[in-house]
């Protein structure tokens, strides 16, 4: 039987976690949405929790609907999910019903300068539904539900053998790869320092290693550093006990690293990053420090160091992440520490936030 002939029965209503107010998310019954032109309906197989979900839940941003905070608008949260195509909109032939897919968050608006340049995570019409902007879980309905509608540009087929829970890591790996893209993409043979072994940092380790870099991982938690070693870091620096600049100097014989991915958001990380990189090196900032940070700008100018910022995944990097996952070159599986049911989302959020039981990635399954 071909995929098209596989019948998928779609119910009238579904369970979904809707954001009512700050820190107020409730499980409700909602009609199953219908895909419009250039859209598909995804039956969700698994959805992972990310730090940004907690930001949206507490503060609303980066969630935004037509310029306002997303509270009380019937908005479904959750942005890292995977599932099966259950229905397609009119004239959609890019994917078939029954295909298993990973998704990315941002479709963008598709009409602004940045979207047209592949920088759809930095869409100039961010949050404007009127202009067709979509970022599921942030500005349009997301994945803590049984079904979600996705723009066709945000779905990537995955192999049958890849579990949905692992495919939820495609966005995380895609963000790490997008960072390596903006650093110039010349990774093989380079020394890459990753600061911060959170999920994005750990996937930056895995991607850097898969692409041929010699990876140094810096962080505070021994378990995370161990996980980083298992994912391909050749060196791990425990920054509470060791001086990062001294260790980088020792490991690189005084040369410094070629590339840095700053994934910690720690107040001193940028300053350390610019001193760890060699002259003419490149630093990508992938985390969001809560306060303004101090760093040695004269050192950056004097040494022709390049600084880049990224906002999430972009430039179809999620598709490249899925390819590396499908080829077995990277795997999200080691990051998944907890599995709960969709109904237990509040417990799952708490487990992720408080890192209960050394949680790295917590996944909910409808």
Given candidates 102, 112, 169, 204, which one binds Zn ion under the rule CB under 5 A?
Answer: 112
Task: Using the minimum distance from each CB to Zn ion, give the nearer residue, 170 or 217.
Answer: 170
Site for Zn ion in 26-55 (CB under 5 A): 50, 52
- Between helix 269-276 and helix 244-251 the angle, nearest 10°, is 20
Site for Zn ion in 123-142 (CB under 5 A): 123, 125
CB of 115 to Zn ion, least distance (A): 3
Kindly write out the interface string for residues 322-341 of this chain, putting x where it contacts Zn ion by CB under 5 A and - elsewhere: --------------------
CB of 8 to Zn ion, least distance (A): 27
How many chain residues are in contact with Zn ion, going by CB under 5 A?
8
Q: Which residues contact residue 242 at a Cβ distance below 8 angstroms, ignoring those fewer than 6 apart? A: none
Given candidates 76, 109, 325, 349, which one binds Zn ion under the rule CB under 5 A?
Answer: 109
Task: Using the minimum distance from each CB to Zn ion, give the nearer residue, 135 or 217.
Answer: 135
CB of 310 to Zn ion, least distance (A): 13
Task: Using the minimum distance from each CB to Zn ion, give the nearer residue, 110 or 245.
Answer: 110
CB of 280 to Zn ion, least distance (A): 32
CB of 238 to Zn ion, least distance (A): 26
| Burial class of residue 189 (count of CB atoms within 10 Å of its CB; 0-12, 13-18, 19+) | exposed
Rounded Cα distance, 278 and 193, in Å: 11
Q: Both tokens of residue 30?
A: 């909602």
Q: Is 108 in the site for Zn ion (CB under 5 A)?
A: yes
Q: Which stretch binds Zn ion (CB under 5 A): 115-123, 135-143, 162-170, 236-244?
A: 115-123
CB of 79 to Zn ion, least distance (A): 6
Measure CA 4 to chain center.
30
CB of 127 to Zn ion, least distance (A): 10
Q: Is 56 in the site for Zn ion (CB under 5 A)?
A: no
Kindly write out the interface string for residues 239-258 of this chain, putting x where it contacts Zn ion by CB under 5 A and - elsewhere: --------------------
Q: Is 318 in the site for Zn ion (CB under 5 A)?
A: no
- Closest chain position to Zn ion (CB): 50
Given candidates 46, 115, 203, 260, which one binds Zn ion under the rule CB under 5 A?
Answer: 115
Task: Using the minimum distance from each CB to Zn ion, give the nearer residue, 85 or 112.
Answer: 112
CB of 48 to Zn ion, least distance (A): 8
The residues of the shown chain that bind Zn ion, judged by CB under 5 A, are 50, 52, 108-109, 112, 115, 123, 125
């Amino acid at each position: 039987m071909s995929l098209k002939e596989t019948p998928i029965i779609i119910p009238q209503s579904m369970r979904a976690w809707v954001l009512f107010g700050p820190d107020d998310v409730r499980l409700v019954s909602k009609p199953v949405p219908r895909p419009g032109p250039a859209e598909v309906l995804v039956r969700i197989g698994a959805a992972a929790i990310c730090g940004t979900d907690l930001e949206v839940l507490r503060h609303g941003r980066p969630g935004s609907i037509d310029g306002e905070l997303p509270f009380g608008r019937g908005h479904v949260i959750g942005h890292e999910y995977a599932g099966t195509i259950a229905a397609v909109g009119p004239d959609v032939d890019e994917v078939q019903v029954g295909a298993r897919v990973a998704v990315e968050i941002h479709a963008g608006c598709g009409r602004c300068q940045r979207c047209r340049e592949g920088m759809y995570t930095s869409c100039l019409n961010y949050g404007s539904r009127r202009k067709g902007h979509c970022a599921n879980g942030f500005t349009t309905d997301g994945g803590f539900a049984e079904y979600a509608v996705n723009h066709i540009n945000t779905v990537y087929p995955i192999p049958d053998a890849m579990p949905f829970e692992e495919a939820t890591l495609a966005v995380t790996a895609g963000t790490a790869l997008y960072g390596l893209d903006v650093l110039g993409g010349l990774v093989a043979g380079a020394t890459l320092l990753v600061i911060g072994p959170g999920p994005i940092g750990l996937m930056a380790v895995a991607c850097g290693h898969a692409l041929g870099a010699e990876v140094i991982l810096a962080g505070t938690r021994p378990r995370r550093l161990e996980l980083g070693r298992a994912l391909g870091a050749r060196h791990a620096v425990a920054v509470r006990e060791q001086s990062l600049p001294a260790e980088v100097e020792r490991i690189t014989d005084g040369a410094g690293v070629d590339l840095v991915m700053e994934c910690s958001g720690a107040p001193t990380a940028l300053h350390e990053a610019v001193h760890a990189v060699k002259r003419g090196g490149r630093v990508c900032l992938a985390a969001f420090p809560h306060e303004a940070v101090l760093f040695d700008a004269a050192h950056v100018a004097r040494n022709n160091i390049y600084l880049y910022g990224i906002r999430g995944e972009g430039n179809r990097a999620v598709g490249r992440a899925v390819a590396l996952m499908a080829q077995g070159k990277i795997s999200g599986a080691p990051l998944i520490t907890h599995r709960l049911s969709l109904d237990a989302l509040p417990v799952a959020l708490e487990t992720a936030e408080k890192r209960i039981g050394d949680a790295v990635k917590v996944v909910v399954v409808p």
